[in-house]
Structure 1
Amino acid sequence: MARKKRISELNDAQRAGLWALVALQVSLAVSAWADLAARPAAKVNGSKGKWAAIIVVNFIGPILYFTRGRR
């Protein structure tokens, strides 16, 4: 099995791509949490606590919240 590269071992294009994905993930999560906090509990499918925990799951959590968590 090949060993994993460290960030310092990536070339500039790979490092830029990685940081773009990190920025996308963080912005999705922050916007989902902000929407969840502002939305009344009656307009959320399920409990707000459950959705706050689901949003933590990489790209899938925020996308699930925006597609299935809101009424």
Structure 2
Amino acid sequence: MAKQKWNDLSGGQKGAIIAAAAVDAGLRVWAGRDLATRPKDEVNGPKWLWGTGLSLVNSMGLLPGLYLVFGRRRTALD
């Protein structure tokens, strides 16, 4: 499959890409803020590893989603 240039994409394709990028950015901000403010004993795994992954790995929202579902320990308030 040949790469398409941005100008060759339809309006719907451009919109889908922008929407996916916005969702990914929102999830990254949410997960990063949660990780930064959560005590290390409430995080499953090392905080530095989650932080590095959230900062460097482009996972199309998968890694932030994994952190939000599996990376946080449940507290009495959750």
Q: TM-score, normalised by structure 2?
A: 0.82
1:54 aligns with 2:53: yes
Aligned Cα root-mean-square deviation (Å): 1.1
Structure 1 ranges of 4+ moved more than 2 A: 53-57
Who is 1:21 aligned against?
20
Q: Which runs of 5+ in 2 are unaligned?
A: 74-78
SS at match of 2:4: coil
Residue 46 of structure 2 is aligned to residue 44 of structure 1:
no
TM-score using structure 1 length: 0.89
User: Cα distance, 1:6 vs. partner?
Assistant: 1.3
Gapped runs of 5+ residues in structure 1? Answer: none
Q: Percent identity?
A: 36
* Corresponding residue number in structure 2 for 1:11: 10
Residue deviations 1:6-61 (CA, integer Å, cap 9, x gap): 11210111101110000000100111000000101111111111111232342211
Matched residue pairs, number?
A: 70
Alpha-carbon separation, structure 2, partners of 1:18 and 1:6: 13
